[in-house]
Amino acid sequence: MRRLHLNAFFPFGPIYVWDELERPEQYYEFDGFAQLARTAERGLFTGVFLGDSQRLREHLGRITDTAVTGRPDQLVLFSYLAALTEKIGFVATLNTTFNDPIDLARRLATVHTLSHGRAGWNVVTTDNAWTGENFRRGNYLDHTHRYEHALAHLRTVQAYWDEELGSASHPVLFQAGESDEGRDFAARHAEAIFSRYLDYDQASAFAADLTARLGRVGRPRSDLAIFPGAKITLGDTRAEAEEKAAEFERRTWTDRRIRAVLESVWSRDLSAYDVDGPLPDVGPADPEQTVTHGVVNSRDQPLRTVGAWRTLAAERGYTIRGLVAHLSRTAQFVGTPGEVADRLAHYVRTGAIDGLNLVPNAVPTGFDEVVERLVPELQDRGIYPAEYAGSTLRDNLGLPAPVAHRIPTEARS
């Protein structure tokens, strides 16, 4: 029977109401993460999943405070959390482009050993010069070669694990690539994949695409768990839940933050523009600006992005605020616990998803309602366990032995 997995997910940028806590630093203190991890384990979450960024984001030449990368190192934090928990897994996002494979393998193996088999690795690649500057390597890896490099890196890591951990006890491999190359890499090597598709039709199409790719390398669909990122907002009635979700958006999307979305593409100060007015009538100051400096992906083509946004705003009558609300629509489930459980049951039973990387609405209490109100509804529908299946992340994801020891090398090349 298909079941739902929940991961506690922390993206590289915070999506919280910053004035809820007395000190903003509390969002990044170990005790806050510990409380969230313990709550997630009480709710039988499968894992804690951390995103990462290899360089502080910039906005108009300054470090931006809308995408903070100042939290503790993932593997150090996981070593701490492993001592406070017993069953929940820990998935770290680690880059194959700018990490030494032996160093990465050794650090992950250490967390895997300390946690008694609860570590996972979200394999990601990077190819842009802006991130490379942080490692004094600039644009050294061509975009077309990033997965070729990642495969060589992965094989070195797995060879180390074979020696240090044994062939049956590797950390679980996640993958987050969206391109054709990324999906093929996941089909050949990963055991779970991060998805951005929460709309049902899009999620089903993504699952069908991966099923076909898995089949070409001799793997069944059950070999690869699909985890879209999502939020959940609950209420006693649908109207109450929708009002809570709308209030959260109003409090997190301040005028300054809304304006910053446009400034990241326009490359100029737009503080003189009313966010409830039309889009700026001036063009981008720097048509070559790279997207990773800011918070919105303009695909390195500010002129084209500005043109597309102006067309969209004209067609739909959007102000700046309306346009940004459209662009930043959060993938989420909103409703009563029963309504959300029914929707999730449909997604899981039809194979559209296998789990959610669930973003908390608050720190450190962001999972309390899900654990106390939604989990029992999921259990009543038979799609959520009453206890952990085992003691390792691999056990609790229902995964067989590592892919590298089941699928022939030629199929994974």
Segment 305-340, tens digit of pLDDT: 899 999 999 999 999 999 998 887 778 899 999 999
pLDDT in tens, 350-394: 999 999 999 988 888 889 999 999 999 999 999 999 999 999 999
Please report which confidence band the pLDDT of residue 294 belongs to, taking 50, 70 and 90 as the band edges. very low
Please report which confidence band the pLDDT of residue 14 belongs to, taking 50, 70 and 90 as the band edges. low
Mean pLDDT value across the chain: 88
Residues near 195 by Cβ (< 8 Å), separated by ≥ 6? 203, 206, 226, 227, 228, 229, 353
pLDDT in tens, 205-251: 999 999 999 999 999 999 999 999 999 999 999 999 999 998 988 88
What pLDDT is recorded for position 189? 95
- Where is pLDDT greater, at 295 or 196? 196
5-10 vs 47-50, strand pairing mode? parallel
Residues near 82 by Cβ (< 8 Å), separated by ≥ 6? 90, 111, 114, 115, 118
Q: Which of 66-70, 288-292, 391-395 has the highest mean pLDDT?
A: 391-395
Please count the residues of the chain.
413
Answer yes or no: is pLDDT of 295 > 50: no
Task: Give the separation between CA 357 and CA 231, rounded to whole angstroms.
Answer: 8
- Its sign, for the CA torsion 78, 79, 82, 88, is positive
**What is the Rg, in whole angstroms, of the alpha carbon atoms belonging to the chain?**
21
Nearest alpha-carbon partner for 10 in 326, 229, 240: 229
Task: Give the separation between CA 33 and CA 366, rounded to whole angstroms.
Answer: 11
Nearest alpha-carbon partner for 227 in 66, 125, 348, 61: 348
The angle subtended at Cα 42 by Cα 41 and Cα 46, nearest 5°, is 35
What pLDDT is recorded for position 192? 97
Averaged over 29-47, what is the pLDDT? 94
Provide φ and ψ at 220, rounded to 5°: -80, 160
Averaged over 159-184, what is the pLDDT? 90
Task: Give the separation between CA 243 and CA 237, rounded to whole angstroms.
Answer: 10
pTM of the model: 0.89
8 A C-beta contact, residue 62 and residue 145:
no
Answer yes or no: is pLDDT of 342 > 80: yes
- Where is pLDDT greater, at 398 or 1? 398
Task: Give the separation between CA 283 and CA 129, rounded to whole angstroms.
Answer: 25
pLDDT in tens, 68-119: 556 788 999 999 999 999 999 999 999 999 899 999 999 999 999 999 999 9
- Its sign, for the CA torsion 259, 261, 266, 269, is positive
Task: Give the separation between CA 273 and CA 196, rounded to whole angstroms.
Answer: 32
What pLDDT is recorded for position 302? 83
Q: Is 355 exposed, middle or buried (0-12, 13-18, 19+ CB in 10 A)?
A: buried
